[in-house]
């Protein structure tokens, strides 16, 4: 089992797209267990196969922080047919990444997310046509205004793609809002890389936007082009694959950061 997921881990353990590319070259493995379940432990809930704990590619026990997340991971294993397909198991892949690559380096992963505050998707606006300008503003302004008001993070907007240096105070204020637990920060890293925006990830974490709103905001330009020129099937297929990982990460964020 470890070899199965090690082969799709990619160069970065938090890079779902690289995992997809590598999995296309990986032979499928037959299902080798009858039932997946969970067992309470001192650290959370261990996922088991036929009563035996699952281990990550590096050999650590796969333990989820909540029963909700553990049940969802076990459900991925139980949903497998004759063959085990890691592409259909985004929560398991994320869990492996957390246990193997994030638990011991939360600060480094947080720093990687924080880099996006220097060149976030939401900072760079179209100058025309007017309808696109308005659509970007409608979807992107709310999280920016929230960051300014709630976090004291005042970012600078630009027209076009010429890089604009952001105030250190704004970057620091946004960075301070990131969580410190490894599961939340790993999930936010996936959301950030899937959307190109750490601000959208923060807005999701704090309940400013729901997952559908975040996904729509991340693809406003792409959707605009599709409406004008038609849908590119290859682009649509890649987007659908990325959405699977995005939804898995969003579910972890929601499970660990419940809002009233």
Q: What is the CATH number of the domain that holds 10?
A: 3.30.2180.10
Q: What is the pLDDT of residue 9?
A: 45
Q: What is the CATH number of the domain that holds 135?
A: 1.10.3580.10
User: Do residue 87 and residue 110 come from a single domain?
Assistant: no
Average pLDDT over residues 120-143: 95
User: Do residue 14 and residue 128 come from a single domain?
Assistant: no
Identify which has the larger pLDDT, 232 or 71.
71
Q: What is the pLDDT of residue 91?
A: 96
Q: Is the pLDDT of residue 236 over 50?
A: yes
Question: 69-87 in b/e burial notation, b at 16+ Cβ within 10 A?
Answer: bbebbbebbeebeeebbbb
Q: What is the pLDDT of residue 18?
A: 57
User: Do residue 129 and residue 218 come from a single domain?
Assistant: yes
Q: Is the pLDDT of residue 260 over 90?
A: no
User: pLDDT by residue (tens digit) across 3-61?
Assistant: 555 544 444 556 645 544 454 445 678 999 999 999 999 999 999 999 999 999 999 99
User: Do residue 115 and residue 96 come from a single domain?
Assistant: no
User: Do residue 97 and residue 134 come from a single domain?
Assistant: no
Spatial separation of the C-alpha atoms in residues 45 and 11, rounded to whole Å = 28
Q: Is the pLDDT of residue 114 over 90?
A: yes
CA distances from 161 to 128, 135, 200, 218, 219 (A): 13, 18, 19, 16, 16
User: pLDDT by residue (tens digit) across 152-207?
Assistant: 999 999 998 888 999 999 999 999 999 999 999 999 999 999 999 999 999 999 99
User: Do residue 110 and residue 207 come from a single domain?
Assistant: yes
Can you give the length of the chain in residues?
Answer: 260
* DSSP at 55: B
CA distances from 84 to 63, 75, 87 (A): 20, 13, 9
Identify which has the larger pLDDT, 119 or 22.
119
- Domain, as residue range, for 245: 106-256
Q: What is the pLDDT of residue 1?
A: 53
Query: Which of 102, 128, 146 is where one domain is finished?
Result: 102
Query: Which of 102, 121, 139 is where one domain is finished?
Result: 102
Question: Model confidence at 230, in pLDDT bands (50, 70, 90)?
Answer: confident
User: Do residue 51 and residue 127 come from a single domain?
Assistant: no
The alpha carbon torsion through 79, 45, 212, 239 (nearest 10 deg) reads -50
- Return mean pLDDT, the chain: 90
Report the percentage of the chain scoring pLDDT > 70: 89
CA distances from 6 to 45, 94, 193, 242, 243 (A): 22, 12, 21, 20, 22
User: Do residue 150 and residue 226 come from a single domain?
Assistant: yes
DSSP calls for 215-226: HHHHTHHHHHHH
Number of domains in the chain: 2
User: Do residue 85 and residue 125 come from a single domain?
Assistant: no
Entry pTM: 0.89
Give the CA count within 13 Å in the CB-facing half-sphere of 60. Answer: 15
Q: Is the pLDDT of residue 145 over 90?
A: yes
User: Do residue 66 and residue 121 come from a single domain?
Assistant: no
Average pLDDT over residues 90-116: 95
Q: What is the pLDDT of residue 7?
A: 46
Q: What is the pLDDT of residue 28?
A: 76
Average pLDDT over residues 85-92: 94
Q: Which residue, 224, 194, 228, 229, is CA-closest to 211? A: 194
């Amino acid at each position: 089992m470890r070899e199965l997921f090690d082969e799709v881990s990619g160069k970065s353990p938090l890079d779902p797209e690289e995992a997809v590319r590598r999995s296309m070259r990986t032979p499928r493995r037959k299902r080798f267990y009858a039932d997946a379940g969970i067992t309470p432990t001192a650290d959370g809930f261990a996922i088991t196969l036929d009563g035996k704990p699952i281990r990550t590619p590096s050999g650590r026990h796969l333990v989820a922080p909540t029963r909700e997340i553990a049940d969802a991971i076990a459900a991925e294993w139980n949903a497998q047919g004759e063959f085990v397909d890691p592409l259909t198991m985004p929560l398991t892949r994320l869990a492996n990444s957390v246990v193997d690559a994030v638990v011991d380096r939360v600060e480094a992963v947080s720093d990687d997310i924080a880099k996006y505050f220097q060149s976030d998707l939401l900072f760079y606006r179209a100058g025309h046509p007017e309808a696109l300008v308005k659509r970007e503003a409608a979807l992107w302004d709310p999280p920016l205004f929230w960051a300014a008001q709630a976090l004291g993070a005042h970012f600078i907007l630009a027209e076009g793609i010429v890089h604009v240096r952001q105030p250190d105070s704004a970057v620091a204020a946004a960075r301070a809002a990131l969580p410190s637990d490894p599961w939340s920060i790993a999930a936010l890293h996936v959301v950030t890389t899937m959307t190109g925006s750490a601000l959208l990830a923060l807005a999701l974490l704090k309940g400013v936007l729901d997952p559908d709103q975040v996904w729509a905001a991340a693809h406003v330009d792409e959707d605009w082009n599709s409406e004008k020129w038609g849908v590119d099937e290859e682009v649509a297929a890649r987007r659908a694959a990325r959405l699977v990982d995005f939804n898995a990460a969003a579910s972890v964020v929601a499970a660990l950061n419940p809002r009233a």
